[in-house]
C-alpha cells in the first residue's frame, strides 16, 4: 500500500476545473457510443487561421526553436504594443508587457508574484471558474460579490465600495464576461474607477480576453481607456486563444506598469521560462496579420447567440438575458430546482440539473455553482448551429419531463 500522501495542504485547497470535468464526462459518454451535444467548453470551433499556422511552420524552419527571454521575443512584444496602440489607443512600452502560456498563466504569475497570505481579491460572481481557485492557491482570499441576472450580471459601484477592506489587494473582473456574456459600458467602468480611485491600495486586473467577441451594439471598452488615471495600478490581461481560435497554442499577454510586469516576468522565468518560441511567432502573426478571420468568426457567434437566445428563452421556466459578447448563454433555472426526474432523482440544485441534462438529454452544460452563483446553467455556443438547434430541442424535452 502506498503510504505517501502526495497532495499538499495547499493543493488540497482547490479543485480541478469543473468545465473541463464536464467536457471529459461528455467525451467518456461519446466513447460509449452516446451522441452528446457538448456545450461545456469555451473553445472556438474554428481552425486557427492558415497564415498563423504557416508563420509557425516557417518559424520552425528558420530555427526559432530555442528558449526566449521570459518576456518573449521582441517581435511578439512589438506586436502586442502595436495591438494596444491600434485597437485600444493605449500606449505601453516594451517593458510594460508580459507574456505567459495562456492568459491563465498570466493570472498565476500575477497572483503568485503579488499576494500575501490573506490578501483579498474582489471578484464579481458569476466569475470565470478558475479565478477563485487561482487566488486561493496563491494564499489569497476571494471576496465574492454576487451579481445575478437581476443585476444584469454586473457589479455596481456601491457593491464594490462595500466589498473593499484594508486587506483588498486586487479587483479582478472580466468583460465581455465568461460565463454571462455581459459587457461593461464605458460609463459603468468609469463609475467603478471612481470608487477604486478612492482606495489607492487596490490594484485592478481587467481580463479582456473576449474583447473582440462582441455581439450587441455595445462597443468594447478597455478598463485602461475608461480609467486612464488608474493606469499605474491596472493590469490588462488578454490573449490569442479566443479571438484567433488558438486555445491549444497557449499564449496570453498582459500590459501594466513596469514594476508589476517585472514581477510577472520573474515568475515566468522560474516556471515555464517562456511560452513556446513557435507559438510566440504564431501569435505575432495573428496580431499583426489580416483580421478578417475575427470579423467572420464574430458574425457567426452573433448569429448563434441570437439562435440560442431565442431558443432557450422559449423554454418555459428559463430566465435568459441575451449575451452582449463572448459565446455563452447563462440562463437562470430556478423554476426547475426542487423538481423530480422520471427516474425519481431529485433536482436539488443546478449541479443536479446539469447532471440530469447530461444523462437524460445528452447535453453537456456547466452548472452555475462552478461560477459562484446558483441556480444557473452555462451553455457555450462556440459550436455549430445544427448542434445548438439540437441542444435547444433536447433541453426543452428533458426539462419538460421534470415534475
Ligand atoms: C475569462 C477567461 N479568462 C482567461 C481564460 C484563459 O485563456 P487562455 O487560453 O489564454 O489561458 C479563459 C478561458 O476560458 C476565460 O474564459
Chain segment 203-262, per-residue pLDDT in tens: 999 999 999 999 999 999 999 999 999 999 999 999 999 999 999 999 999 999 999 999
Structural contact between residues 227 and 234, judged by C-beta atoms closer than 8 angstroms:
yes
Which set of grid coordinates corresponds to residue 181?
A: 456574456
Cell 495547499 appears where? 10
In this predicted structure, what is the pLDDT of residue 354? Answer: 95
Spatial distance between the Cα atoms of 343 and 103, rounded to a whole number of angstroms: 42
Q: Among candidates 299, 298, 322, which has minimal Cα distance to 309?
A: 322
* Cβ 280 under 6 angstroms from ligand 1: no
* Cβ 176 under 6 angstroms from ligand 1: no
Element of type H or E holding 377: strand 377-380
* Ligand 1 atom closest to the CA of 251, numbered from 1: 10
Q: 344 — phi, psi (to 5°)?
A: 95, -10
Residue 23 has pLDDT above 90, yes or no: no
CATH class of 11-47+293-397: alpha beta
Mean pLDDT of 380-384: 97
* Cβ 366 under 6 angstroms from ligand 1: no
**pTM for this predicted structure:** 0.96
In this predicted structure, what is the pLDDT of residue 1? Answer: 61
CA-nearest residue, atom 11 of ligand 1: 102
Q: Evaluate the omega torsion of the peptide bond into residue 90 and state whether it is cis, within 30 degrees of 0.
A: no
In this predicted structure, what is the pLDDT of residue 20? Answer: 77
Residue 19 has pLDDT above 80, yes or no: no
* Cβ 178 under 6 angstroms from ligand 1: yes
* Ligand 1 atom closest to the CA of 106, numbered from 1: 11
Residue 46 has pLDDT above 70, yes or no: yes
Residue 149 has pLDDT above 90, yes or no: yes
In this predicted structure, what is the pLDDT of residue 132? Answer: 97
Which set of grid coordinates corresponds to residue 267?
A: 515568475
Q: How many Å lie between the centroid of ligand 1 and the Cα of residue 371?
A: 14
Spatial distance between the Cα atoms of 273 and 255, rounded to a whole number of angstroms: 19
Q: Could you report the per-residue pLDDT of 306-343, keeping only the tens digit for each? A: 999 999 999 999 999 999 999 999 999 999 999 999 99
Spatial distance between the Cα atoms of 233 and 204, rounded to a whole number of angstroms: 6
* Cβ 25 under 6 angstroms from ligand 1: no
* Ligand 1 atom closest to the CA of 103, numbered from 1: 10
In this predicted structure, what is the pLDDT of residue 26? Answer: 87
Residue spans per domain, the chain: 11-47+293-397, 66-289
The rounded mean pLDDT for the chain is 96
- DSSP readout, 233-256? GEEEEEESTTTTT-TTT--EEEE-
User: Does the domain spanning 66-289 belong to CATH 3.40.640.10?
Assistant: yes
CA-nearest residue, atom 16 of ligand 1: 178
Q: Could you report the per-residue pLDDT of 202-218, keeping only the tens digit for each? A: 999 999 999 999 999 99
Residue 112 has pLDDT above 90, yes or no: yes
* Cβ 288 under 6 angstroms from ligand 1: no
Amino acid at each position: 500500500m502506498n503510504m505517501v500522501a502526495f497532495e499538499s495542504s495547499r493543493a488540497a485547497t482547490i479543485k480541478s476545473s469543473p468545465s473541463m470535468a464536464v467536457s471529459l464526462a461528455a467525451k467518456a459518454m461519446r466513447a460509449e457510443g452516446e451522441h452528446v451535444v457538448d456545450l461545456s467548453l469555451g473553445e472556438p470551433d474554428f481552425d486557427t487561421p492558415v497564415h498563423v499556422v504557416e508563420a509557425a511552420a516557417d518559424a520552425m524552419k528558420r530555427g526559432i526553436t530555442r528558449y526566449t527571454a521570459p518576456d518573449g521575443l521582441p517581435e511578439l512584444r512589438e506586436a502586442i504594443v502595436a495591438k494596444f496602440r491600434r485597437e485600444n489607443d493605449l500606449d505601453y512600452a516594451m517593458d510594460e508587457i508580459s507574456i505567459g502560456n495562456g492568459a491563465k498563466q498570466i493570472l498565476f504569475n500575477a497572483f503568485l508574484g503579488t499576494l500575501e497570505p490573506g490578501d483579498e481579491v474582489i471578484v464579481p460572481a458569476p466569475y470565470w471558474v478558475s479565478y477563485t481557485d487561482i487566488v486561493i492557491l496563491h494564499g489569497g482570499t476571494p471576496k465574492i460579490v454576487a451579481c445575478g441576472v437581476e443585476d444584469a450580471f454586473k457589479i455596481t459601484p456601491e457593491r464594490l465600495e462595500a466589498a473593499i477592506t484594508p486587506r483588498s489587494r486586487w479587483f479582478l473582473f472580466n468583460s465581455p464576461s465568461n460565463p454571462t456574456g455581459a459587457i461593461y459600458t464605458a460609463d459603468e467602468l468609469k463609475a467603478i474607477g471612481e470608487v477604486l480611485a478612492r482606495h489607492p491600495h487596490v490594484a485592478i486586473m481587467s481580463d479582456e480576453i473576449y474583447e473582440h467577441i462582441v455581439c450587441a451594439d455595445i462597443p468594447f471598452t478597455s478598463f485602461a481607456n475608461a480609467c486612464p488615471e488608474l493606469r499605474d495600478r491596472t493590469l490588462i490581461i488578454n490573449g490569442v486563444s479566443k479571438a484567433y481560435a488558438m486555445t491549444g497554442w497557449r499564449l496570453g499577454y498582459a500590459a501594466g506598469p513596469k514594476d508589476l510586469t517585472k514581477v510577472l516576468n520573474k515568475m515566468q522565468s522560474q516556471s515555464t521560462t517562456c511560452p513556446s518560441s513557435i507559438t510566440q511567432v504564431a501569435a505575432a502573426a495573428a496580431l499583426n496579420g489580416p483580421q478578417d478571420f475575427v470579423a467572420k468568426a464574430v458574425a457567426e457567434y452573433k448569429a448563434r447567440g441570437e439562435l440560442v437566445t431565442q431558443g432557450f428563452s422559449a423554454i418555459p421556466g428559463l430566465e435568459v438575458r441575451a449575451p452582449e459578447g463572448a459565446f455563452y448563454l447563462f440562463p437562470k433555472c430556478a423554476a426547475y430546482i426542487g423538481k423530480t426526474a422520471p427516474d425519481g432523482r431529485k433536482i436539488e440544485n443546478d449541479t443536479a440539473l446539469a447532471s440530469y441534462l447530461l444523462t437524460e438529454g445528452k447535453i453537456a452544460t456547466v452548472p452555475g455553482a462552478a461560477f459562484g452563483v446558483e441556480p444557473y446553467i452555462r451553455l457555450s455556443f462556440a459550436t455549430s448551429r445544427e448542434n445548438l438547434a439540437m441542444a435547444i430541442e433536447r433541453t426543452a424535452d428533458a426539462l419538460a419531463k421534470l415534475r
